[in-house]
Structure 1
Amino acid sequence: MKLPSTTERVSSHSSESSNLRIQKEMERRLSYYLDHPQEIAGRLHDLNREWDIERTLETNASVLALLGVSLTATVDRKFLVVPAIVTGFLLQHALQGWCPPVPILRRLGVRTQSEIELERYALKALRGDFVHVCQPEQAQDRQDRVPTVLHALVQ
């Protein structure tokens, strides 16, 4: 069994519509910051606080596992099945990049760390932090800068 790479495992197991919606939303935000460069620092601060899908899944799994153990200790041993199922799903996610909550979280717009980092570096490039990554004046139209920056970052 070949395991997917860490950076691609969630997106490769997400629906095309969820991946596309997340991509289009990021492009929409980047287009906004082309006209509002003074707000880029605030957006970068927000990105530092954004939870990625890994952190969200780990937190949810921990809460459910602790709840199952607590119910096992106080109510009935049958509740031990909850942490067993949750940790099994967490292992499946660690290996394959998929578990039952992933499609729901992706539809809600929860992004991978790679997707968050792509937006972070695109914003920095738009702000001019990485002159060697992309020369904004090379783009013919201001709207051409977003795909140009994204393409340069993905290369």
Structure 2
Amino acid sequence: METWNQSSDSARSHTPGMVNRRIDQHVEACVRHMATRADRPEMSRYLQRLEREWDLNRAVMVATAALGALGLLIGKKDGGRWRVLSGVAAAALLQHGMFGFGPLSGPLRALGVRTRREIDLEKFAIKALRGDFERIPNDGGPMARANAALVAAQS
């Protein structure tokens, strides 16, 4: 399943291929596990977990807000030198907002933080396996169903 994820968002395109492959392999392993188990209640619980997962944009916003607040708090105590950190955080957030990636995106992606599109692909694949869509064949075994679910989620 080398080419099922055809996403071309800016975060993926600015992430090293090894990191993207590791994220994709995690998704594949989860979808294959669900296809093998075919347990609808487990799929529903897993989908609820995916709904709560933070995406890259949310993680960047929280991290930059924390850095900005830290810069202001420490800057208040030391005469203002640390307030530069707030400016750097604001610039990083601006860059991420304008281009879809920034200085914090790389480390967060390396930690496994996914884009909303990547999370949604996994959600739709699990929903397809659960039977929410008609495009997934019931024959061919769990791996064929997992492959079909991932391809259906991408389209």
Tell me which interval the TM-score lies in, with the shorter structure as reference length. Answer: 0.7 to 0.9
Alpha-carbon separation, structure 2, partners of 1:35 and 1:65: 46
Alpha-carbon separation, structure 1, partners of 2:149 and 2:136: 9
Report whether the alignment pairs 1:145 with 2:145: yes
* Counterpart pick for 1:120 among 104, 123, 128: 123
Alpha-carbon separation, structure 1, partners of 2:133 and 2:20: 27
The Cα of 1:11 is off from its aligned counterpart by: 0.7
Name the aligned partner's letter for residue 133 of structure 2. Answer: F
Report whether the alignment pairs 1:63 with 2:90: no
* Counterpart pick for 2:105 among 86, 97, 102: 102
Name the aligned partner's letter for residue 29 of structure 2. Answer: R
The Cα of 1:74 is off from its aligned counterpart by: 2.3
Cross-structure match for 2:12: 11
Single out whichever of 140-149 and 49-58 deviates more from structure 2: 140-149
The Cα of 1:49 is off from its aligned counterpart by: 1.2
3-state SS of 2:81 partner: helix
Given that residues 89 and 99 in structure 1 are in contact (C-alpha distance below 8 angstroms), is that contact kept between their aligned partners in structure 2? yes
Question: Once the two structures are aligned, what percentage of the paired residues are identical?
Answer: 32
TM norm structure 2 = 0.88
Root-mean-square deviation over aligned CA pairs? 1.4
TM norm structure 1 = 0.88
Cross-structure match for 1:49: 52
* Counterpart pick for 2:90 among 78, 82, 87: 87
Given that residues 136 and 148 in structure 2 are in contact (C-alpha distance below 8 angstroms), is that contact kept between their aligned partners in structure 1? no
Structure 2 residues not aligned, in runs of 5+: 1-7
Structure 1 residues not aligned, in runs of 5+: 1-6
Given that residues 13 and 97 in structure 1 are in contact (C-alpha distance below 8 angstroms), is that contact kept between their aligned partners in structure 2? no
Name the aligned partner's letter for residue 42 of structure 1. Answer: R
Alpha-carbon separation, structure 1, partners of 2:154 and 2:49: 22
Cross-structure match for 1:34: 35
Cross-structure match for 1:23: 24
3-state SS of 1:78 partner: coil
The Cα of 1:45 is off from its aligned counterpart by: 1.1
Deviation track 1:64-100 (CA, whole Å, cap 9, x = no partner) reads 1011111222222111110101111111111222222
Alpha-carbon separation, structure 2, partners of 1:59 and 1:68: 14
Return structure 1 stretches of 4+ with deviation > 3 angstroms: none
Alpha-carbon separation, structure 2, partners of 1:153 and 1:60: 30
Cross-structure match for 1:135: 136
